[in-house]
Amino acid sequence: MDINIKIPDDVLYIIDILENNNFEAYAVGGCVRDSLSGKEPHDWDICTSALPEQTMKCFESHHIIETGLKHGTVTLMLNHEPFEITTYRVDGKYKDNRRPENVKFVSVLKRDLARRDFTVNAMAYNPKTGLIDYYGGRQDLTERKIKCVGNADKRFNEDALRIMRALRFASVFGFSIEAGTSESMRKNKKLLHNIAAERIAVEFNKLILGDGANDILSKHQEIITEIIPELIFSADINAAPKDLVIRLALLFDDYEKAKKALSRLKYDNDTSRAAAQLVLYYGEEIKPERTHIKRWLNKIGEERFRQLIPIKKPDAEILNLLNEIIENKQCFLLKDLAVNGSDLIEEKIASRVQIGVVLNKLLDMVINDEAENNKNILLEIARKQI
């Protein structure tokens, strides 16, 4: 069956220029995989038999960024968009189970595709030749399966991050992981300790935000807990919104453990603090009462409270009351109180030392619906109580 992939005009232009100069050129990798899956590719990468200097010669009248020449990559700017053009290559010895020490340029596409991670990422296409699929990527795509190109142990020893990438792809695409590949991942899981924490976190984030997160987490706990032993797997991740903070929080049952794990994985402070805060509070009750909700808002703010709601799975009345409070701009924070410290001093109601106590007492009364958030009313209450 013929394959017809719709390639953007800029990509066709690049392929045509290279072919007109007697070089091979193909769209390769994720863009081919996504196109065959009926998805819109985010990026289009091109591989070619042309050496980097030959590629630059072909496009000498264009803006070229020479950032990846050591590995054979030239970045071409077309219509303000970057396109990576990479020479066919094979990798040298890998160091630290992550990156090759060097690469060797080759003239045969098959050798270039042989070094890639998974079969679904090892396909190439151009309109004249059609689909190039030496390693069964199209069949694995049809069968919704992640499988290593060639020997799985070799692939994971070359780059241990591929273990996390396999989990991520399976979760995001809703695929299974081929038995031999899965076994190799378990066997080589300790290699993940050689990978930078930031890189682990990037793949883990995409994994837990995928539609297949529950399935992958449950089937591959042994691998994931090798690097994040603090995790629990009892929550229904897929039922939660695709909010990173919420889904991270659901994977912990202890505040200190969450803080420790997220710090070790180099999460930014905002994400780490937010997820740990949800872990701290999701054991507490949320009542469908206006005053109770305003107290929650005072304690953790609207954004965090909205993230807490789907974790607690309360009734719709809580969300309705929350929306009403926000829409009506009801006061639950000091900054929204109708009086401030300057007002109290100006009216000679409180000294600077007393301001905080008085304002917090007034705020409590407003939250409890014991006083209207009105400047004159609040000043009068403050006068009587001082």
Q: What is the CB-side half-sphere exposure of residue 41 using CA atoms within 13 A? A: 20
In this prediction, residues 326-341 reach a mean pLDDT of 95
Q: Is pLDDT at 1 greater than 50 in this prediction?
A: no
Cβ neighbours, 10 Å, residue 257: 17
In this prediction, residues 66-86 reach a mean pLDDT of 90
Q: Is pLDDT at 15 greater than 70 in this prediction?
A: yes
pLDDT tens profile 105-136: 999 999 999 999 999 999 999 999 999 999 99
In this prediction, residues 190-197 reach a mean pLDDT of 95
Q: Is pLDDT at 386 greater than 60 in this prediction?
A: no
Q: Is pLDDT at 7 greater than 90 in this prediction?
A: yes
Confidence of residue 73 (pLDDT cuts 50, 70, 90): very high
In this prediction, residues 350-376 reach a mean pLDDT of 92
Q: Is pLDDT at 94 greater than 90 in this prediction?
A: no
Give every CB contact of residue 79 below 8 A, 6+ residues apart in sequence: 10
pLDDT tens profile 200-222: 999 999 999 999 999 999 999 99
pLDDT tens profile 212-260: 999 999 999 999 999 999 999 989 999 999 999 999 999 999 999 999 9
What's the maximum distance between 2 C-alpha atoms anywhere in the chain? 91
In this prediction, residues 333-359 reach a mean pLDDT of 90
The rounded percent of the chain whose pLDDT value lies above 90 is 85
Residue 309: enclosing H or E segment and its boundaries? helix 290-312
User: How do 124-126 and 103-105 pair as beta strands?
Assistant: unpaired
Confidence of residue 67 (pLDDT cuts 50, 70, 90): confident
In this prediction, residues 333-339 reach a mean pLDDT of 95
